[in-house]
């Protein structure tokens, strides 16, 4: 576990998102597997999800989210000096999606890397960007959380296929004298990683045999038990270390995995459910994109305002956790 309180030199200065056009509803899911709209909504809170086109991949989602950010904030990317993309579904392992973004937007000279922290990816990228900015070497960093999970979903497995959708979120972070990243928390439960995985080269994880289809495999019961136990502990630790209380939080923005998890976390921490921002109802579980998509919904309907104190909490495959206290600056 890593936990810190800080007054950083990091400020979020621009933000953008993208979801594909195709909508896959719960009624559509009924035609694929033995399920129903009522069953899915009761257990997950999901009503529909966005699905990328056959020729649309993670890189395309990244490009579109950055273009949306440019259109909304008229930002100049020419002086971006680092790009971090969080994804579990890259088009290719290399070149990285970050390198593809660098090429697409003609950013002249910058560092570029992908990170894989599954559903904690966007917040982990935010934490890494903050560290790079604190060195004083970097001044402007582009982070993206993007996943094309539909391309790694087994649509014969009703326990997983009802969950996942595609999307991307981008944010520009810049060095400033009056930073708005106020605290950070990370934790890992690697010994339980075999409960949620996507295979690559090996047929086992620390002695646990796994499926080698390259599709997402999840033991939903075990992941649920882990999340509703560990996330409240992390929230408590982060708030206590920063001298904050749940009453001071304006918006809790957890990874939009499953509404039952979110409700349980709120119940155990005392955070009112009405202070929670989520994106799973319209977009499903979009992994690294779920937190920016939830923020965007609140931006668009005017719920979130400059100066609001936000608790962003990513959790998922790894099993990984990454959280920040962030004063909203847009």
Catalytic one of 68, 161, 285, 310: 285
- Per the CB < 8 A criterion, the answer to whether 194 and 205 are in contact is yes
Catalytic one of 58, 62, 110, 119: 119
Strand partners, 310: 251, 326
Q: Which CATH class is domain 2-179?
A: alpha beta
Residue 94 has a CB neighbour count (10 Å cut-off) of 8
pTM for the complete prediction? 0.96
Give the pLDDT score at 140: 97
What residues does each domain of the chain span?
2-179, 182-327
Residue 9 has a CB neighbour count (10 Å cut-off) of 19
Q: How many whole angstroms from its chain centre is CA 176?
A: 24
Distance CA 267, CA 226 (A): 16
Distance CA 283, CA 293 (A): 8
Which residues make Cβ contacts (< 8 Å) with residue 293, sequence separation at least 6?
A: 17, 19, 167, 169, 256, 279, 283, 286
285 is catalytic: yes
266 is catalytic: no
138 is catalytic: no
How buried is residue 2: exposed, middle or buried, by Cβ count under 10 Å (0-12/13-18/19+)? exposed
CA-to-CA dists, residue 278 to 19, 46, 48, 193, 296, angstroms: 15, 11, 13, 25, 10
CA-to-CA dists, residue 55 to 52, 60, 148, 303, angstroms: 8, 9, 11, 35
Give the pLDDT score at 155: 97
Spell out the per-residue pLDDT of the chain, length 330, in tens: 666 555 578 999 999 999 999 999 999 999 999 999 999 999 999 999 999 999 999 999 999 999 999 999 999 999 999 999 999 999 999 999 999 999 999 998 899 999 999 999 999 999 999 999 999 999 999 999 999 999 999 999 999 999 999 999 999 999 998 889 999 999 999 999 999 999 999 999 999 999 999 999 999 999 999 999 999 999 999 999 999 999 999 999 999 999 999 999 999 999 999 999 999 999 999 999 999 999 999 999 999 999 999 999 999 999 999 999 999 999
Distance CA 6, CA 246 (A): 18
Helical segments of the chain, H only:
26-30, 37-44, 58-73, 97-104, 121-134, 158-161, 220-241, 259-269, 280-283, 290-300
How far apart are the two ends of the chain, measured CA to CA in Å? 30
Domain 2-179 and domain 182-327 have a common topology = yes
* Phi, then psi, of 146 in degrees rounded to 5: -145, 140
Catalytic one of 194, 255, 258, 310: 255
Q: What is the DSSP letter of 276?
A: B
- Per the CB < 8 A criterion, the answer to whether 317 and 198 are in contact is yes
Q: Which CATH class is domain 182-327?
A: alpha beta
């Amino acid at each position: 576990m890593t936990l810190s309180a800080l007054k950083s030199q990091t400020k979020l200065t621009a933000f953008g998102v993208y979801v594909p056009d195709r909508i896959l509803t719960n009624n559509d899911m009924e035609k694929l597997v033995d399920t129903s709209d009522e069953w899915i909504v009761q257990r997950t809170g999901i009503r529909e999800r966005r699905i990328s086109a056959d020729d649309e991949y993670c890189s395309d989602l990244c490009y579109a989210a950055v273009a949306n950010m440019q259109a909304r904030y008229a930002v100049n990317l020419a002086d971006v000096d680092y790009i971090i993309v969080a994804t579990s579904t890259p088009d290719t392992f290399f070149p990285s999606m970050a390198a593809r973004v660098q090429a697409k937007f003609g950013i002249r000279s910058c560092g570029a890397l992908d990170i894989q922290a599954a559903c904690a990816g966007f917040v982990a990228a935010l934490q890494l960007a903050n560290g790079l900015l604190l060195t004083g070497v970097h001044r402007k960093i582009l982070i993206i959380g993007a996943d094309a999970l539909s391309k790694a979903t087994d649509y014969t497995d009703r326990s997983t296929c009802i969950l996942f959708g595609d999307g991307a979120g981008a944010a520009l972070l810049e060095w400033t004298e009056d930073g708005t990243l106020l605290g950070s928390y990370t934790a890992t439960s690697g010994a339980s990683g075999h409960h949620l995985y996507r295979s690559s080269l090996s047929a086992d994880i620390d002695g646990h045999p796994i499926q080698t289809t390259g599709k997402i495999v999840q033991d939903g019961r075990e992941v649920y038990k882990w999340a509703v136990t560990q996330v409240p502990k992390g929230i408590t630790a982060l708030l206590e270390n920063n001298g904050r209380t749940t009453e001071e939080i304006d918006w809790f923005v957890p990874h939009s995995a499953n509404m039952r998890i979110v409700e349980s976390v709120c119940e155990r921490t005392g955070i009112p459910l009405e202070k929670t921002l989520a994106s799973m109802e319209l977009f499903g579980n979009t992994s690294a994109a779920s937190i920016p998509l939830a923020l965007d919904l609140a931006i668009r309907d005017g719920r979130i305002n400059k100066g609001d104190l936000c608790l962003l909490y990513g959790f998922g495959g790894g099993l990984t956790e990454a959280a920040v206290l962030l004063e909203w600056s847009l």
